[in-house]
Chains A and B, each alone.
Chain A
Amino acid sequence: MHEGEVSTRLGLIGWPAVAEEAIIARDVLLAEHVGSRLHVCHVSTAGSVEVLRQAKTRGVRVTAEVTPHHLLLTDERAETYDPVFKVNPPLRTAADVAALRAALADGVIDVIATDHAPHAVEDKECEWAYARPGMLGLETALSIALDVLGPEWDLIAERMSRTPARIAGLTGHGVDPAPGVPANLTVIDPAARRTIEPTELASRSRNTPYARMTLPGRIVATFLRGEPTVLDGKAIK
């Protein structure tokens, strides 16, 4: 978990923010030196945001992602000792969460990426020290984005579709619905609210940190090249 006041109080070994920030600082310098593209996975600290901000200002070819859980949850969740909240990088402080949200809004962080990390029951329902790090994310990411950002649809499209498609070079994805474009799109009911039940998820694993939380938004339909993969909120196959 995150090295800080909470880890000290709980007697758990903490991982300091600088372990992340030192590598990002080194790697933006390396990417700048060789003129290559660097992407930083799951940015989790306010200090990382500042390193990225400076690098982007200098024109380094760096992009960065943040996970839904790092936008919502803090290290205080570890007070339950429930390993469902054990994740790498660890949940950080409320100040980090605030910095990540601001960076997502101003573009220092380019993308929301899930780090969807399914784990079998025996790897998760055990002592904290022995549990595997990671959380499910695919089926809840849009709801967390809606909860954190509000109905800022253009920003959500930018951070969860257009920009990640561009970074990955996935042509045909991340393009707003318009005549002639591939019909890769999703339809959302923003007024719906749903309570997350781990056993109802399509993933083979159950390690969602949002169990029994009520979240905004529901996916009504998803189309892949014109064929529905989801209709009426249910998978087609």
Chain B
Amino acid sequence: MTAYLITSVSVVGAAPTDLLIRDGVVAEVGPGLSAPDATVVDGAGLVALPGLVDLHTHLREPGREDAETVESGSRAAALGGYTAVCAMANTSPVADTAGVVEQVWRLGREAGLVDVQPIGAVTVGLAGERLAELGAMADSAARVRIFSDDGHCVADPKLMRRALEYVKAFDGIIAQHAEEPRLTEAPRCTRVRSPPGSA
């Protein structure tokens, strides 16, 4: 594993110093470091921050690999300074089972550019009707802790209550796309109305 010496870099805005990276960790921080085996990165005028973390990323895989893949989105993230992204559940199929979240998690590992942490759906198919397999996703290799129907609001208050209660057992979070659907629905004049009595 190559070592890297970043010289004269400002760590989170502080006075310039040197950073030595070795064996996956920050090995040393201080002025005037020397490491003959290290690749030198001139950090003069630059700022080092802890890698950025995105709580809300759509990677589109599985389902819309023409728009983005876990790999292309991971590359975009790394180029943006990110080291971890949370992948939203509105893929096709929806990330509402352990199988799908593990697939996304594994694709992230294989791309190896950022840590991809899958978010699980709150409801089956994002349909807002019944809870998805929250516990199975939490127990999966992806260790899901954030659940969201993003793109859709969990509009049913009883379902939202149950979801909040359920994830409390493992200190999970419900990430809500807050949009009351009755207040954003298209005007009735543009919709085809079913005749009375039809299913």
Contacts and interface: CB of A to CB of B under 8 A. Distances in A.
Interface string A119-137: 1100100000000001010
B13 A153 contact: yes
Contact of B21 (A34, A114, A154, A183): A183
Chain B binding surface, main DSSP class: mixed
Chain A binding surface, main DSSP class: mixed
A160 B11 contact: no
A181 B146 CA distance: 25
A36 B164 contact: yes
B130 interface: no
Interface of B: 1, 4, 6, 9-13, 19, 21-29, 41, 43, 45-58, 60, 64-69, 72-73, 75-86, 112-115, 117, 145-146, 148, 150-151, 153, 155, 157, 160-161, 164-165, 167-168, 171-180, 183-184, 186-187
A202 B157 CA distance: 40
Q: Which of B19, B54, B155, B178 has the most CB of A within 10 A?
A: B178
Contact of B49 (A23, A168, A188, A228): A188
B50 A185 contact: yes
Contacts of B164: 30-31, 34, 36-38
A168 B11 contact: no
A179 B26 contact: yes
A187 B9 contact: yes
A34 to B, nearest CB: 5
A53 interface: no
A72 to B, nearest CB: 16
A211 interface: no
A106 interface: no
A180 B23 CA distance: 10
- Sorted from nearest, which 6 A-B pairs have the closest CB atoms? A153-B13, A19-B183, A186-B81, A226-B24, A113-B56, A36-B164
Interface in A173-203: 173-191, 201-203
B158 to A, nearest CB: 10
Nearest to B143: A169
